[in-house]
Amino acid sequence: MLVLEALRYQSMQEFEVIIADDGSNDDAVRLVQEKTGDYPFPVRHVWHTDRGWRKNEILNKAILASQTDYLVFIDGDCIPEKHFMEEHYLNREVGAALSGRRVNMGEHITRSIDIEDIRRHRIGWQFKSRLFMARLFRAEGSHVENAIYIRSKWLRKKIYKENKGILGCNFSIHKKDILSINGFDERYQSAFVGEDTDLEMRFLNAGGKTISVKHKAIVFHCWHKRMVNDRRNLEIYNKSKEEGLSYTPFGIVKNTQEFKN
């Protein structure tokens, strides 16, 4: 619920929220459905049965459920800074995917955050100072420099010379652009190479481009235990790269025979 609370206090409020739920249990589903009417923006819950890690599959369902022409993606373990939605929307461009970065919070700070911190607007400079101090004195967290929000357009132009590509927890794209490459490839069934890099590779192959919104659209990634990597992702990614794919037959629209193979 921390993500929804952070979205409540965004500097821009004209958006809808689609919760892409990869198989939460009945209690979690009930809680989400009870809370969806409490927000100033429409919230819809898209869910499927738990069959292991099927993030890309539920994201594709969420894309189809969306009613807007522009899509912003954020993970459920990431808290957006208050300018997050506004920056993605103001910098949108047809044929481009906007890519932000994330600040990795350590375990201690992650456990200390609650809804009241967000409601009382504590996820600001005081909070960012805590991140820097934790990194400096306890070596906790990483990429804390990504927490710096730069308002000056002139300074942004001087800084944004490197584009590191799409992160699944902080990117945006026009709906028609992501549909043109058939969304996410659902063969990726673990959080490792390919989950988001495959989408970027195919989008670039289709003639798209990526634009950095580092220090503009900021998210704070909550600490959690690392997931087990599946090396099969790398095999799928390398094969798609060799073939120069842009449109995947394993996305929103299925080629049933190929998916079985």
With contact defined as beta carbons under 8 Å apart, do 19 and 43 qualify?
Answer: yes
Q: Return the residue matching tokens 């998210």.
A: 219
Burial of 70 (0-12, 13-18, 19+ CB in 10 A): middle
Question: What number is the average pLDDT over the span 90-106?
Answer: 95
Q: Kindly indicate the confidence band of residue 116, based on its pLDDT and cuts at 50, 70 and 90.
A: confident
CA distance 194 to 249: 15
pLDDT-wise least confident of 128-132, 153-157, 246-250: 153-157
> For residue 59, which of 76, 43, 39, 42 has the smallest C-alpha distance?
76
Computed over every residue of the chain, the mean pLDDT equals: 90
Residue 30, both tokens? 């009930």
3-state secondary structure the chain: CHHHHHHHCCCCCCCCEEEEECCCCHHHHHHHHHHHHHCCCCEEEEECCCCCCCHHHHHHHHHHHCCCCEEEEECCCEEECCCHHHHHHHCCCCCEEEECEEEECCHHHHHHCCHHHHHCCCCCHHHHHHHHHHHHHHCCCECHHHHCCCCCHHHHHHHCCCCCCCCCCEEEEEHHHHHHCCCCCCCCCCCCCCCCHHHHHHHHHCCCEEEECCCCCEEEECCCCCCCCCCHHHHHHHHHHHHCCCCCCECCCECHHHHHC
pLDDT in tens, 8-24: 999 999 999 999 999 99
pLDDT in tens, 28-64: 889 888 888 889 999 999 999 999 989 999 999 999 9
Structural domains for the chain: 2-260 (3.90.550.10)
pLDDT in tens, 191-227: 878 889 999 999 999 999 999 999 999 999 998 877 6
Cα of first residue to Cα of last residue in the chain, in angstroms, is 39
CA distance 250 to 205: 17
CA 44, 49, 50, 52 dihedral sign is: negative
Residue 164, both tokens? 């590191």
Count of beta carbons in the 10 Å neighbourhood of residue 190: 17
Partners of 170 in beta bridges: 74
